[in-house]
Amino acid sequence: MSAGTLLVLEPESSGFDVVWAALSLGLRVHVCTTRPPDALPAALWEAGVTVARVDADPASFVKAAVSAAEEHDVVGVAPGFDYAVQPAAAAASVLGLPGLAPAAADVLGDKYRMEQALARAGVPVAQGVPFALDDVSTALLRSLAARVGFPAVLKPVDGSGSLRVRRVDDLAELRRALAEDTAVGPVEDLGRLVGERMLLEPYLDGPEFSVEGCVTDGAPRVVAVTGKQLGPEPCFVETGHVVEADLAPRDRAALEAVALDAVSALGLTAGAFHLEARLTGSGPVVIEVGARLGGDRIHRLVSEVYGFSLPEALVRSLTGRPVPERGPARGVAGVRFFSVPHPARLTDPAALRERLSGIPGCTEAAVTCPAGTVLRPATDFRQRFGHAVLTAPDRAALDAAFAAVDRAVAHATLEPLPCVY
């Protein structure tokens, strides 16, 4: 007999693993998504998952959740992606189920409001200045430069996945970046327009990390600290992650403490969290907080090292079930994402997958583009073309596996293309 139905709103990336975690716990799953049914993995249908298509606005998700509750014994509502945090909170509130307060979710959906809330609570955070993309003037640019200074980071107030996030070092670069954004207009991402409002915030100098955790019995709990590997600036494309991060105990404790303070200040009372921060010369400074799982296979790395399932913890928390304790660390794990420094053509993805699978410690290898695809240097997650998940007994062995992956990607299957000026 089923233990009830979990609603998963707009699953994407790690959101699909929320579905599998719920099924493994004996729950039925009902998905609400803006995408057509044939855009979802066939395995969902084979597993008996039911699906409702909705519009992108939060009210449509809430209406679909209420309709689902009339047909199913709904016991929880989970966001399957960053953009679904707000509708999931609203739906859970309407249905009287565990979840974030809708007001807290609204703050999380706006990076400027999030920064302001953290600053009011005394949490160290990069505080930016918001503005509308369609109302950029010379006077505004000069005001932004005077208030924020350079170097600075330009980003959408409501984006995800490094979309249109880049460093600008002076007023000329800021003007040029905004001119490019204005010419193209906002980006459509899962039915939403991203980038209508922008944020200019101070650049933080220091290595970047993320803190993964869950909330149980209303209290946040840190599960792991992830070391982030980034591509060349001015973009901030994530090229890899490592669990556990290589940190001095004092620095790790400081990151954990700031993360717990931030999560509490933002009112995260159920589910999971993924917090990004930089370790500056004056200590950890928060970049942003998500009331969801981290993407990029981070939860898989946590599972490899600790035997702890963050997707299952999220499901348990949002259905009022106890969350088990994390086990001791067993080695180290990492993921490498593939991108190119120069334009190139992918010649043989199958051969690349086979070569990656033969690297010691590789537990998962994926190439997401077909043969003949023209690859471009990555400016956000959309230009990456695959990944490899690796496990190793120690960091030296993991770094050797990373190097083997990089060699395979760089030399085995890429045909350089001439630059066009």
Q: Give ranges for CATH 3.40.50.20 in the chain.
A: 5-97
Instruction: Supply the CATH classification number for the domain 5-97.
Output: 3.40.50.20
The pLDDT, as a whole number, for residue 289 is 96
The pLDDT, as a whole number, for residue 8 is 97
Task: Measure the CA dihedral 364/403/328/260, to 10°.
Answer: -90
- The H or E element that residue 145 is part of is helix 138-148
The pLDDT, as a whole number, for residue 223 is 98
Q: Give ranges for CATH 3.30.470.20 in the chain.
A: 208-416
Q: In sequence order, which residues have a C-beta less than 8 Å from that of residue 88 and are 6 or more positions away? A: 7, 9, 61, 77, 78, 79, 99, 100, 105
Which residue in 203, 198, 202, 204 sits closest to 185, CA to CA?
Answer: 198
pTM for this entry = 0.93
Which residues in the chain show pLDDT less than 70? Answer: 1-2, 190-191, 412-421
Distance CA 46, CA 295 (A): 24
DSSP annotation of 235? B
The pLDDT, as a whole number, for residue 218 is 86
Taking domain 208-416, whether its CATH number is 3.40.50.300 is answered by no
Q: How many other CB atoms are there within 10 angstroms of residue 37's CB atom?
A: 12
- The H or E element that residue 318 is part of is helix 310-318
Question: In the CATH hierarchy, which top-level class contains the domain 127-202?
Answer: alpha beta
The pLDDT, as a whole number, for residue 421 is 39
Distances (CA, A) of 106 to 89, 101, 163, 205, 363: 9, 9, 20, 29, 38
The pLDDT, as a whole number, for residue 37 is 79
149 half-sphere exposure, CB direction, 13 A CA radius: 5
The span from the first CA to the last CA of the chain, in angstroms, equals 64
